[in-house]
Amino acid sequence: MRASLRIRGSLVIIFCLLLIVGCSNQVGSMNENEQARITVTDHADREVKFAEPPKRIVSLVQGDMDILYQLGAEIVGGPTVSKDLLPTELANIEQVGTAHEADFEKIVSLKPDLIIGHAGLNMKDISTVESLGLKMFLTNSNSYESILEVIDQYGKILERENEAKEMIAEIEAKKKEIEQKPLTKDVRALIIYGTTDLFLAALPTSLSGDLLATVGGENVASDLPGIESYPDYAQLSMERVIEANPDVIYFITHGEPEAVKEKFESELKSNPSWKKIKALENDNFVLLPYELFGTNPGPKLAESLTYIRENLESIAAEN
């Protein structure tokens, strides 16, 4: 009898323990769900979770910082760039390096809730960031659609989805306006990304190449193979360019743009074969603003579309 009672007592204890474990698991799940109130997948296919919208943000990417600022985020640190590229309100912001080389000591001192990095450049820094107890969101905005996606993602992260939708709607309206008025003639374009040491042709998979296609331009380098170190760009083949005979040559450079453009232009003009190219004959050698075409323009995306479209229209009118 006593043995039977002991068995029954043991069963009751086991049942109670199971009940407690079950309840604690439910509570744990609830806490976990509460902690993951916001979940967004970044461009490195990482799920980044937030218990609440981040209040202090450091961005290593200029365009992303501009989007976040326009959506009402508090930016406490930004990339090291010329102050004339920053919104007036962020002119004196703490500069923390770039996606290529971030100053994590300075970043930590700013106590950010979130760091914005580049998916192609900052994946190697994830372990460092996490060891510091920080959170990083990685993006790679190299096309019209990917920039709109990033705006939408930041709307979710900040819980400013209506504001993000408004920003996207304004950009989409400009694109629709352009699409409703096709170019009167096809315009063949070459986009060159240059430094004092290297000149590359931008492919359709690059940001500038994608924006050119979005507004109706034809990229004469579209069938060139990308190079291993810069897959969105191709080696500049003089023979191929002469054969393609572009109507316009667009030029992008980062740092000392006039000096780099002048060097490239002098090299072209020193080659007799290049003098026969329409773009040079008609003086259609255009320097594109780096902040609109060389990097994610963020909320200025509609301005990027307008800039290159108006130039294409003027060239189409000449031909």
Q: pLDDT (tens digit, 9 = 90+) per residue, 2-18?
A: 444 444 444 444 344 33
The structural domain count of the chain equals 2
Region 97-105 average pLDDT: 92
Strand partners, 250: 191, 286
One domain, residues 108 and 199: no
Could you tell me if 234 and 225 are in contact, meaning their C-beta atoms sit under 8 angstroms apart?
yes
145 found inside a domain: yes
One domain, residues 163 and 137: yes
Dist. CA 109–CA 121, nearest whole Å: 22
Residue 95 pLDDT > 50: yes
Which of 151, 176, 201 is the last residue in one of the domains?
Answer: 176
140 found inside a domain: yes
Please give the residue that has the higher pLDDT: either 306 or 36: 306
Which of 176, 195, 224 is the last residue in one of the domains?
Answer: 176
């453009």: which residue's tokens? 261
Query: Is beta strand 114-118 parallel, antiparallel or unpaired with respect to 38-41?
Result: unpaired
One domain, residues 239 and 294: yes
Dist. CA 86–CA 61, nearest whole Å: 12
Dist. CA 240–CA 251, nearest whole Å: 17
Residue 53 pLDDT > 60: yes
User: What pLDDT does residue 3 have?
Assistant: 43
Ramachandran category for residue 133: left, alpha or beta (phi over 0 → left; psi -120 to 50 → alpha): left
Query: Is beta strand 199-202 parallel, antiparallel or unpaired with respect to 188-194?
Result: antiparallel
User: What pLDDT does residue 139 have?
Assistant: 96
One domain, residues 158 and 57: yes
């096809």: which residue's tokens? 186
7-11, 80-84, 126-130, range with the lowest pLDDT: 7-11
Dist. CA 154–CA 309, nearest whole Å: 28
User: What pLDDT does residue 196 have?
Assistant: 65
User: What pLDDT does residue 9 have?
Assistant: 46
One domain, residues 56 and 122: yes
> Going by C-beta distance under 8 Å and a sequence separation of 6 or more, which residues neighbour residue 155?
71, 161, 162, 163, 164, 165
Nearest Cα to 64, choosing from 9, 115, 19, 103?
A: 115
One domain, residues 97 and 116: yes
User: What pLDDT does residue 67 have?
Assistant: 96
Domain that holds residue 157: 38-176
Task: For residue 213, give the CATH number of its domain.
Answer: 3.40.50.1980
One domain, residues 156 and 75: yes
One domain, residues 229 and 121: no
Number of other CB atoms surrounding residue 60 within 10 Å:
28
115 found inside a domain: yes
Residue 170 pLDDT > 60: yes
Give me the DSSP letters along the chain: -HHHHHHHHHHHHHHHHHHHHHHHHHHHHHHHHHHTSEEEE-TTS-EEEESS--SSEEES-HHHHHHHHHTT--EEEE----GGGS-GGGTTPEE-B-SSSB-HHHHHHT--SEEEEETTTSGGGHHHHHHTT--EEEE---SHHHHHHHHHHHHHHHT-HHHHHHHHHHHHHHHHHHHTS--SS--EEEEEEE-SS-EEEEPTTSHHHHHHHHTT-EETTTTSPPPSSSTTEEE--HHHHHHH--SEEEEE-SSSHHHHHHHHHHHHHTSGGGGGSHHHHTT-EEE--HHHHTS--GGGHHHHHHHHHHHHHHHHHH-
One domain, residues 116 and 214: no
pLDDT-derived band at 89, boundaries 50, 70, 90: confident
Burial 90-111, CB ≥16 within 10 A → b, else e: eeebeebbbbeebbbeebbeee
User: What pLDDT does residue 2 have?
Assistant: 43
Region 30-54 average pLDDT: 82
Which of 154, 176, 198 is the last residue in one of the domains?
Answer: 176
One domain, residues 156 and 215: no
12-16, 82-86, 120-124, 218-222, range with the lowest pLDDT: 12-16
Region 97-108 average pLDDT: 92
User: What pLDDT does residue 283 have?
Assistant: 87
Rounded to a whole number, what is the distance in angstroms from the first to the last CA of the chain? Answer: 107
Residue % of the chain over a pLDDT of 90: 60
One domain, residues 250 and 303: yes
One domain, residues 199 and 105: no
- How confident is the prediction for the chain on average, in pLDDT? 85
Residue 186 pLDDT > 90: yes
Residue 244 pLDDT > 50: yes
Q: Note the pLDDT tens digit of each residue in 285-311.
A: 898 998 899 889 999 999 999 999 999
Please give the residue that has the higher pLDDT: either 8 or 113: 113
